[in-house]
Chain A
Amino acid sequence: MRRATFIAACIIAAMAILVPVLNLWVPADSALHIPDHLVPLLGKYLCFAILALALDLAWGYCGILSLGHGAFFALGGYAMGMYLMRQIGSRGVYANPILPDFMVFLNWKDLPWYWYGFDMFWFAAIMVMLVPGLLAFVFGWFAFRSRVTGVYLSIITQALTYALLLAFFRNDMGFGGNNGLTDFKDILGFNIQSQGTRAALFAATALTLAAFLLMLQWIVASRLGKVMVAVRDAESRTRFIGYRVEHVKLFAFTLSAVMAGVAGALYVPQVGIINPGEFSPANSIEIVIWSAVGGRGTLVGPIIGALTVNAGKSYFTAAFPDAWLLVLGALFVCVTLFLPRGIVGTLSEWWEKRPQRTAAQAPVASMEAAQ
Chain B
Amino acid sequence: MMTNYGNRLTQGQFSFLPDLTDAQIKAQVSYALKQGWAVNVEYTDDPHPRNTYWEMFGLPMFDLKDPAGVMQEIDACRKTFASHYVRVTAFDATRGWETPRMSFIVNRPVEEPGFRLDRQEMAGRLQRYSIHSYAADKPAGERY
A binds B: no
